[in-house]
Amino acid sequence: MSHTLPLPDFAHERVEVMTGRRSGLIVTVALHSSALGSALGGARLWRYPHWSDGMGDALRLSAAMTLKNATAGLDAGGGKSVIALGLDDTLDADRRRAAFLDLGDAVESFGGSYRTAEDVGSTTEDMLVVSERTSHVVGLPDSVGGSGEPAGPTSRGVYAAIRATLERVTGSSEIAGRRITISGLGQVGSRLAVRLSGEGARLTVTDVNPAKMSVAAELGATWVEPGTEHVIPADVFVPAGIGGVLDDQVIDSLAALSVCGPANNPLADRSGAERLAGRGILYAPDFVANAGGVIYLDVEAKHPGHKAEIASRIDGIGDTLRRLFDDAAERGVTPLDAAEAYAAERLAAGRRQPAGV
């Protein structure tokens, strides 16, 4: 079987693809850039039709992490790792442990130029297993003195981004009375739903897991069937599940004033940013809006216990978006163009720094 997704352009410093000697699973570690420092990006455990789809995911996600870390103002490069499960693979506790020991070996081979953390499909407990093979891992469980789960900080950052986005499209950052649709009620989406509901938002929610209907009921939110949420009129559409949901068809029927959410790579194609702009829909770049978790992990790892600094930097995501919105408007480009340009400036400056600076 050939891979089912087109592979992105290769612009990476180093990529390793290996068959784990314990688990027999294909592990990809992609280091996209270390221009700003040791790369940071999580480890994804996911099912793919073909191992090369997992590799492609690592390539795309690692490039996105370079943008995320650069626009967040971190002295960190971009990387990502993927453990690819086949569609029919089974993963009991022993094989899961084996897979993350294999990942630890792969991360260790990068000598500190890449640090991993939990991501979709992995947990802080999995990172504890990784730490048996390498010290280049962050986000270990609270129980062992680690920084723990980053979903809370991610949610906090997206909240700040939503307020900045509302301010731009409605003239006010107030949440009360605003129509907000959340597509995906995972760890971040559900946290957002609770906070936004508590502040009086008129919520519409959905998730591919029907058990999440209970969240809607508890919050008094309107539940809609997955795949229909984008046609519900909203001030903000919040993609909080898998990537690639905003394809041409969805964009053309999207009944929202803006898009701002935690999902990585929600645009099926980069051209979607222009398509949204053409419809007058404001797009908050995902890698800006969802950077709260990586800010938390990086700053906590380098400056343990600096909670006030971390909170301030996460809340600053809103101000970063405001500046990018202003820049985009002044230059007549999309917010995505403006965010990528800002990241490119930081990366270029980092590459000009002498070794050791």
Contact (Cβ atoms closer than 8 angstroms) between residue 22 and residue 14: no
SS3 121: coil
Backbone torsions φ then ψ of 225, nearest 5 degrees: -70, 140
233 vs 36: CA distance, rounded Å: 41
| Dihedral, CA of residue 134, residue 137, residue 143 and residue 144, to nearest 10 | 40
109 vs 29: CA distance, rounded Å: 10
Contact (Cβ atoms closer than 8 angstroms) between residue 26 and residue 75: no
237 vs 194: CA distance, rounded Å: 16
Q: Does the active-site annotation cover 307?
A: no
Backbone torsions φ then ψ of 236, nearest 5 degrees: -135, 130
Nearest CA among 41, 262, 268, 18 for reference residue 158: 262
Residue tagged active-site, from 68, 80, 212, 307: 80
Residues 6 or more apart in contact with residue 345 via CB below 8 angstroms:
none
Half-sphere exposure of 308 (CA within 13 A, CB side): 0
Contact (Cβ atoms closer than 8 angstroms) between residue 180 and residue 236: yes
Residues 6 or more apart in contact with residue 274 via CB below 8 angstroms:
334
Residues assigned a catalytic role: 80
